[in-house]
Amino acid sequence: MHRLAAASLFVAGSAASVSAQVPTAVDFLGNNSIVTVRFVGSEAADRSTLAYQIGAIGSFNAAGTWTDLFTNNGVGASAPGTQMQIGNVSSGQNVFFRLTNTTQGVGPTFTNFRFYSGLASRNPDNALHMAVSAGSGLAASGGGTFTTAFSFEDRSGTIVPISDFDYNDLRFEISNVSTVVPEPGTYILMASGLAGLGMMARRRRNNA
């Protein structure tokens, strides 16, 4: 994993206020290229850390190994515009993200403030905590461009202080991935549905 100086990568106004984002339950899929993540900026008052996990498609594991990427606010905070390469991700691998709010998540409530990309069921409040939108198109240090942006909501929907769910708290961009990737369970449902349609078509032909 390589870290680049933020100074030459910062875009004026990149940390400015943006409109509310639409949450979505997607995973990021590699394309046999080096994936780079860029910290765009933060509107959050709390301190949080973004970490990532790479695994086979649909292999999300909250208890698995996570690697920290960026931290906002306080000592050692990442500068807006900083890019981090997370390595070559194959077309058979997902990149998962975890945001940990270390201001609110203290003591026994710590895990209640760990939020994940993808399905709402991964999160302690059973809510979506990531939104995805178009990226800036800036060049990524590992090759390619930032075609996809994603942002996190850093507070819980069930524990005070309650989240406003504007998904503007921490914003990032990612290169060389595709989105809207169904998990294996979704593929099974799709296959079952197609099989059912096939059976119905055969019955109609036989009854004709």
Neighbouring-strand partners of residue 149: 133, 173
Backbone angles phi, psi at 125, to 5 degrees: -100, 5
Q: How far apart are CA 91 and CA 39, in angstroms?
A: 24
The enclosing domain of 106 has a CATH number of 2.60.120.400
Can you give the pTM of this predicted structure? 0.79
Checking phi first, is residue 154 left (phi over 0); if not, alpha (psi -120 to 50) or beta? alpha
Distant-in-sequence, close-in-space partners of 183: CB < 8 Å, separation ≥ 6: 27, 57, 58, 60, 118, 119
Residue 195 falls within a domain, yes or no? no
- Total domain count, the chain: 1
Residue 15 falls within a domain, yes or no? no
Confidence of residue 194 (pLDDT cuts 50, 70, 90): very low
The domain of 133 spans 21-181
Q: What is the pLDDT of residues 78-120, one digit of tens each?
A: 999 999 999 999 999 999 999 999 999 877 778 899 999 999 9
Residue 199 falls within a domain, yes or no? no
